[in-house]
DNA sequence: TATGACCTTCGAGTGCACTCCAGGCAAGCG
DNA sequence: CGCTTGCCTGGAGTGCACTCGAAGGTCATA
């Protein structure tokens, strides 16, 4: 991976993004930098470049800034968004629903209520899935102890 | 759904099944019955008839008994197996891996160790997924409280 | 100036887990 | 007897979430 030469970050960027950003950063990012190439983002997130471009095409990413030659330059805010999307994906949320949330974010403050609803419904799903997994865990433990005793 | 006329259950059935059956029954089953039609199993499990036949084709089900006219007759043991498979599916285990486990069960006692290993690795996956979901939950809670305060 | 690493787009292809369809058999009912 | 319902089979189709390929542009270094 080549770490590209970067211009100083545009402080005036007004790309719509989720106002409420996640405080804990899971991927180390070089300090004082705000313009990452796609291959850097691949390294940070574990997603493929193809998937990153595809997310953009389907409207799951806010518009990503470009270099003067047309190459993508991701901001820290974009990385935060990708972290969030990755978490939503882990809950089993369909991509279409995540796109819907992204649209609400783009539409601005007037969609706060709807966003809150969507997240609350997702929260309920997550709690259900956790309960199911605990249930499964107890079945697994039961069977494992059977095999452990049996031989 | 038609509740079919049933013969008394073959007590001599020796179909290979997981010796270690799950004690808690999640779907109500009529007492004293051991031969269910496919549509009864659909009602019990929530799976579709297509999916049940497909599970059999790919080797995920032990061989299901048939009526004299060739229709499937599921036993309580088959239902236990389906409950277990459904739980494994919830963990995100690929169908191919479940088929592998089913094969081990068919091969008999000599595969106890390998079955135990497989279940233990699944157990680790489940714990990981639970941790991921808790992580996601805290992000959701953070955002929800932001929206709740913000409007 | 040429090589190779990196990037671009758009459209097509892949793998998984179902899901459906066509064509047909068997049983119960008026 | 004919109608309806339920079930059978094998193979084809669907939807999702990527994943890849082709053709070509850009850029730093040899």
Q: What CATH code is carried by the domain that includes residue A133?
A: 1.10.1660.10
Q: What is the pLDDT of residue A60?
A: 96
Query: What are the tens digits of pLDDT across the range A11-57?
Result: 333 344 565 654 555 556 665 578 899 999 999 999 999 999 999 99
| φ/ψ bin of A13: left (φ > 0), alpha (ψ from -120 to 50), beta (otherwise) | beta
Mean pLDDT over A88-92 rounds to 93
Q: Is B91 on the interface with A (CB under 8 A)?
A: yes
In a domain, A33, yes or no: no
SS3 content of chain B, % helix, strand, coil (to 5): 60, 5, 40
In a domain, B5, yes or no: no
**Which residue's alpha carbon is at the shortest distance from the C1' of C6?**
A2
Count of domains forming chain B: 1
In a domain, A29, yes or no: no
Position A80 pLDDT exceeds 60: yes
Portion 51-70 of B in contact with A at CB < 8 A: none
- Across the interface, of A18, A139, A144, the residue whose CB is closest to B116 is A144
In a domain, B24, yes or no: no
Instruction: Tell me the DSSP string of B45-102.
Output: H---HHHHHHHHHTT-SPPPEE-TTS-EEB-HHHHHHHHHHHHHHHTT--HHHHHHHH
Q: What is the pLDDT of residue A33?
A: 74
Nucleotide closest to residue A51 (CA–C1'): D18
Please state, in angstroms and rounded to a whole number, the distance separating the CA atoms of residues A143 and A137: 10
To test the contact with chain A by mutation, choose from B20, B117, B124 the residue with the greatest count of A C-beta atoms within 10 A, namely B20
Residue A93 structural domain: 38-150
What are A86's two structure tokens?
């990755």
In a domain, A17, yes or no: no
Asked if B151 and A120 come within 8 Å (Cβ–Cβ), the reply is: no
Asked if B147 and A88 come within 8 Å (Cβ–Cβ), the reply is: no
Asked if A147 and B115 come within 8 Å (Cβ–Cβ), the reply is: yes
Q: What is the pLDDT of residue A150?
A: 76
| Residue recorded with tokens 């992204």 | A102
Q: What is the mean pLDDT of chain A?
A: 84
Asked if B90 and A137 come within 8 Å (Cβ–Cβ), the reply is: no
In a domain, B16, yes or no: no
In a domain, A11, yes or no: no
Element (H, E) at A122: helix A112-150
Residue B73 CA to nucleotide D2 C1', Å? 29
CB pairs below 8 Å between A and B: how many?
A: 104
User: For residue A67, which of A3, A1, A17, A5 has the smallest C-alpha distance?
Assistant: A5
* Mean pLDDT in consecutive groups of 10 residues from the start of chain B, 151 residues: 36 48 60 86 95 97 94 95 96 96 95 95 96 96 92 59
CB environment B59-92: b (16+ within 10 A), e (fewer)? ebbbebbeeeeeebbbbeebbbbbbbbebbebbe
Q: What is the pLDDT of residue A13?
A: 37
Other Cβ atoms less than 10 A from the Cβ of B115: the count is 23
What are B85's two structure tokens?
């498979």
In a domain, A77, yes or no: yes
Of A29-43, A96-110, A116-130, B9-23, minimum mean pLDDT range = B9-23
């Amino acid at each position: 991976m080549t770490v590209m030469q970067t211009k100083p970050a545009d402080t005036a960027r007004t790309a719509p993004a989720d106002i409420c950003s996640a405080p804990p950063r899971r991927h180390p990012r070089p300090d004082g930098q705000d313009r990452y190439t796609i291959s850097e983002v691949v390294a940070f997130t574990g997603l493929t470049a193809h998937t990153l471009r595809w997310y953009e095409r389907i409207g799951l990413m806010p518009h990503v800034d470009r270099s003067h030659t047309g190459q993508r330059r991701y901001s820290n805010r974009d990385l935060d968004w990708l972290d969030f999307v990755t978490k939503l994906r882990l809950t089993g949320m369909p991509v279409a629903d995540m796109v819907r949330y992204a649209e609400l974010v783009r539409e601005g403050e007037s969609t706060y209520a709807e966003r809150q609803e969507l997240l609350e419904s997702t929260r309920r799903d997550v709690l259900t899935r956790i309960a199911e997994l605990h249930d499964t865990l107890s079945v697994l433990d039961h069977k494992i102890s059977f095999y452990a005793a049996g031989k």
